[in-house]
Structure 1
Amino acid sequence: MSEMPAVRVDHVGIAVESIEEAEGLLFALGCEKIHEERSEYGSFTWATYVLGGASRLELIAPRAESVSFLTEFLERSGPGLHHVTLEVADLDRAVAALEKRGIDVVDHAEFEHWAEAFLPPGNPTGALFQLMEYYDGYAETRGAGDRLFVDGERL
């Protein structure tokens, strides 16, 4: 089975030096901050903002005490668009469908409450795409709960 499963834009990730300094613009645009968390899997902090019913933005900032993919990105490119996250209903099927079409998929990883893989920015769009499948427990382990999902439900 190599058909692409259900997929939708989950959020756009924006790399910044400081969430606190950058989020003022998002507030001016009418965003509501619903979540902030230090990643336990990397040296960064991420915050989620909702704009309207289903539009979501994410600010990601490096932790001051470490060097990571994010500090390297900011040194190379400065603040700006980092990635587009697409929620998929079945990550394994999505990866198989993309690879069948000759599209590179890298860094496939499984975590307790989600799985992810990436389409590197060497693709024709020049954008880094994160493919993400949410598992049971993702919302329950975070203060914003189901608000972290587009329209309050995962695919």
Structure 2
Amino acid sequence: MIKITGFEHISIGAKDTEPSASVLGLFGIKPLYGEDIHPHGVTTTYYEHEDNENTRVRFEIIRPVSEDAPLRKFLEKRGPGIHHICMQVEDLEDAMQQIKGAGGELVEPVFDDSRGRHVFVHPSFTGGFLLGLIELHPGQKP
């Protein structure tokens, strides 16, 4: 069994980030940081709300920055909206092996960002949704 250590984020794909960011702001969900994810041709901004009881909600808004970004095709076909959900796993390599062993397909390459190592599980294996997995870098807050 794949060990899940937490829920990471819900990702929203958009050509224009402002409408989604404005709605998140109504709930006190504020931008944390942004970065470019070169293997996928996108720029991303993470948003988070955490209350005094440590209830954390994290969103990511991604926007294509290259012409051949897979996200661009997603937006042309489906329009803006939820792109993927992402779960934190204890051991990304183990999770990948278990998924492949069960006949699943991964959307590679594995890539790094400031929070950890990521990979996507193809929607053909999940019943129609894109699932992201992340193994957090040491010291990252779950």
Map of 1:135 onto structure 2: 137
- Maintained 8 Å contact 2:45/2:60: yes
Q: Distance in 2 between matches of 1:127 and 1:32?
A: 26
Q: Distance in 1 between matches of 2:5 and 2:30?
A: 24
What's the offset of the Cα at 1:23?
0.7
Q: List runs of 5+ in structure 1 lacking aligned partners.
A: 140-145, 147-151
Map of 1:95 onto structure 2: 96
Map of 1:26 onto structure 2: 24
Q: List runs of 5+ in structure 2 lacking aligned partners.
A: none
RMSD over aligned Cα atoms: 2.3
Q: Distance in 2 between matches of 1:48 and 1:13?
A: 9
Structure 1 residues 29-38 or 69-78, which shifts more?
29-38
Map of 1:149 onto structure 2: none
For the residue of structure 1 that corresponds to 2:77, the secondary structure is helix
Q: Distance in 2 between matches of 1:4 and 1:45?
A: 29
Against the structure 1 CA distance between its residues 112 and 15, is the aligned structure 2 distance closer, same or farther, given a 3 Å change threshold?
Answer: closer
What's the offset of the Cα at 1:112?
7.4
What's the offset of the Cα at 1:124?
4.7
Map of 2:78 onto structure 1: 77
Against the structure 1 CA distance between its residues 40 and 13, is the aligned structure 2 distance closer, same or farther, given a 3 Å change threshold?
Answer: same
Matching residue within 34, 40, 43 for 2:41:
43
AA matched with 2:13: A
Identical positions, percent: 24
Q: Distance in 1 between matches of 2:19 and 2:113?
A: 31
Q: How many residues are treated as equivalent by the alignment?
A: 137
- Maintained 8 Å contact 2:104/2:122: no
- Maintained 8 Å contact 1:108/1:115: no
What's the offset of the Cα at 1:110?
4.7
Map of 1:142 onto structure 2: none
- Maintained 8 Å contact 2:45/2:61: yes
Q: Distance in 2 between matches of 1:110 and 1:44?
A: 13
Q: Distance in 2 between matches of 1:43 and 1:100?
A: 29
What's the offset of the Cα at 1:108?
4.5
